[in-house]
Amino acid sequence: MKVLFLTNEYPPHIYGGAGVHVGYLSRELAKSMPVEVRCFGDQNFEERNLKVRGFELDTTEFTCPKPLQSVFGAVRRCTDFNTTNIDADLVHCHTWYSHFGGILAKLNYGISFVITVHSLEPLRPWKREQLGGGYDFSLWIEKTALEMADAIIAVSGETKRDIERLFEVDPNRVRVIHNGIDLEEYRRVDSTDALKRHGVNPDEPYLLFVGRITRQKGIIYLVRAIQFMDPGFQVVLCAGAPDTPEVATEMQKAIEQAKAKRSNIIWIEEMVDRNAVIEFYSHAAVFCCPSIYEPFGIINLEAMACGTAVVASAVGGIKEVVVDGETGFLVPLEQMSESPFEPLNPEKFSRDLAGKINQLMKDRQLREKFGKAGRKRVEEKFSWSTIAQKTKALYQSLTRSIPLKS
């Protein structure tokens, strides 16, 4: 059996959890079956059972509005995915950018169509800021693809419920397979070179955030929470790649206001490499994930794998990763107001985040207890070998006439 992955993100060109997921899952699956990956970019390599090819795009002759370039670029590359002959037994798509490619493969090549849902477009209305009218297209292509897929993988139980609520799909076609983590790569390290390089004092405790500057990640609420935090610890924000200039400006203003009252805030605007991120996780006193929408939240797994206590919003799949009072604290997020970008009570949410962070910062023993429990939970529940085994079993159920290699 051979599987074809279609994805916009693939290492080294990744900016979110979907790219991390596809990178690790493809390599794990390739240990026992042929895997071909077609992605957006210039990647081109082959390692035993794994073949990766990037498809580049020349937009110099595009005259459409800039927000639509990524939309039409996705359609063009999805077409290119298919004009290159497909000899796989099934196609597995990741994110809506690749869904048109999966539709074409299913209809033209007659192969089974699998989608992993890393997020859902109807639950990300802020994407209209980024895509303009392209958001309406992303809504349409996602709905069309999900409703014709042979199997849908939800990265959490919460995501499965959202899929069944929002789309006309047979619940029997929807399976929950969580995201995973490389337990050998993500573990506590002693080195502090990256901290020193970015101006972080390794001898003083710090709160850590890692993520993109986007509405979804809730970074603005964490920055606004800084005014309610106790003094005496650093605040380290590894936050880059803003979705839009407007979001970037909002973040800049919020940081300036926070720094007017607190000096020990370190904002790292670049997307730091994996080794540096692991170092930041390893030495953080507390990691915070303030997302307002999160189908899974792989960053919480990464922090827990490095033995760090977590404070996270109680939304989506985060509730299936972080165990409240055992591996960290979950902060309730009241239902969204009419604005799609804010909680019902934004200040209360920021105050509640700060309250849990302050509680952990005062209690080193509790932090260490949560950190050890987090590492144990990750080892028991979220290894990539487990995720790959479940994924292969799903493939086999769709192609029973094809023997699965052991």
- Give mean pLDDT in consecutive 10-residue pieces for the chain, a chain of 406 residues: 96 86 95 97 96 95 93 97 97 97 98 96 86 94 98 94 95 94 94 96 96 89 96 94 86 93 92 92 98 90 97 94 97 70 85 98 97 96 91 91 42
- Which pair of tokens denotes residue 128? 């209209």
Apex 221 CA angle, 335 and 96, nearest 5? 70
- Spell out the residues 6+ positions from residue 350 whose beta carbon is closer than 8 angstroms to its own: 221, 222, 224, 225, 228
DSSP β-bridge partners for residue 235: 207, 265
List C-alpha distances in Å: 29 to 40, 73, 152, 395, 404: 20, 29, 18, 11, 11
How much is the CA Rg of the chain, to the nearest whole Å? 21
| Domains, in order of start, for the chain | 3-180+383-398 (3.40.50.2000), 193-381 (3.40.50.2000)
**pLDDT for the residue 334:** 80
- Which pair of tokens denotes residue 111? 């192969």
Which of 385, 196, 369, 207 lies closest to 281 in space, CA to CA? 207
**pLDDT for the residue 340:** 55
Predicted TM-score (pTM) of the model is 0.82
Q: What are phi and psi of 65, to 5 degrees?
A: -55, 145
**pLDDT for the residue 354:** 98
How many CB atoms are closer than 10 A to CB 392? 18
